[in-house]
Amino acid sequence: MAAIPTTDGHHAAPNVLVTIWQNLRCSPSGSIGLLIVAAHLILAVISPWIVPHDPTAFDSQAILQAPSATYLFGTDHLGRDVFSRTLMGGQIALMVTMISIVISVAWGGLLGILLGLMGGWLDEAIMRLVDAIRAIPEMLFLLLIAGIVGTENGILILALGFLYGVEVIRIARSATLSVVAQDFVLAARARGESRRTIVLRELLPNVFDVLLVEGALRWSYMLLVFSALSFLGFGVTPPTPDWGVMIAQNRTTFGIAPWATFFPSCD
């Protein structure tokens, strides 16, 4: 992205946000993606007030009922309302992944920008370490952490934040290298400004849009990985509603009650 100078020679993050918003408005796919993300977040927040049934309540008289006016998405093998569980199932996944993506973009982005500015042997050493960590299959890494430390939400947040932050380092460093050689950065160095000032006032605003896009992409990956962990029994534990748990519990009845697996998998 081209530098966005202000009247005082610096580059304002609000101008970058305006540019991003204009690009989203001109991009149908970007607008649709933003609407889908916003819809998921809104549903996760308001779901406790709009679910028609208790998502954890058992009803032995309503086992494996097909979708109807009473149960919009039908019921599962324990007689629980699939619609209510699907609405509530995104709460923990979205909370964990939202906090994790903020952590990963914050530390990975700042470290990547700093490495792109500094260069030298430290940059090379850390990037080789990044390559080594990226070579480890992410699911294997997370299963190892879950097996050793536990599956509490706080542990999963830190594990996801670290794992995906490593990915962000590479992207942020690459974006910084395309900016760091520009005249306004060279001028800041010539004025004797500190690295902290250069990072926060010159570099960060000009790679901010890259970090936002990367964060959105990583968030979608993270949701899938978290649901996969729950499916394998290392994420959310029953009877708490969760998309991955719902798919795992109802996959054996897919042949006779596909709705119990289909609707949570669509989210």
Strands, E assignment, 104-200 = none
Residue 107: per-residue pLDDT: 93
Residue 41: per-residue pLDDT: 78
Q: Determine phi and psi for 75, rounding to 5 degrees.
A: -125, 165
Residue 220 · residue 39 · CB < 8 Å? no
Q: What is the pLDDT of residues 14-27, one digit of tens each?
A: 555 565 566 556 65
Which residues of the chain register pLDDT less than 70?
Answer: 1-34, 36-37, 192, 267
**Domain segments of the chain as ranges:** 13-56+84-266
| Helix, strand, coil percent content, the chain, rounded in steps of 5 | 70, 0, 25
Q: How far apart are CA 72 and CA 247, in angstroms?
A: 18
Residue 231's nearest CA partner among 158, 142, 167 is 142
Residue 80: per-residue pLDDT: 93
Q: What is the dihedral of CA 148, 151, 154, 159, to 10 degrees?
A: 60
Q: What is the pLDDT of residues 74-113, one digit of tens each?
A: 999 899 999 999 888 888 888 888 899 999 999 999 999 8
What CATH number should be reported for the domain whose range is 13-56+84-266?
A: 1.10.3720.10
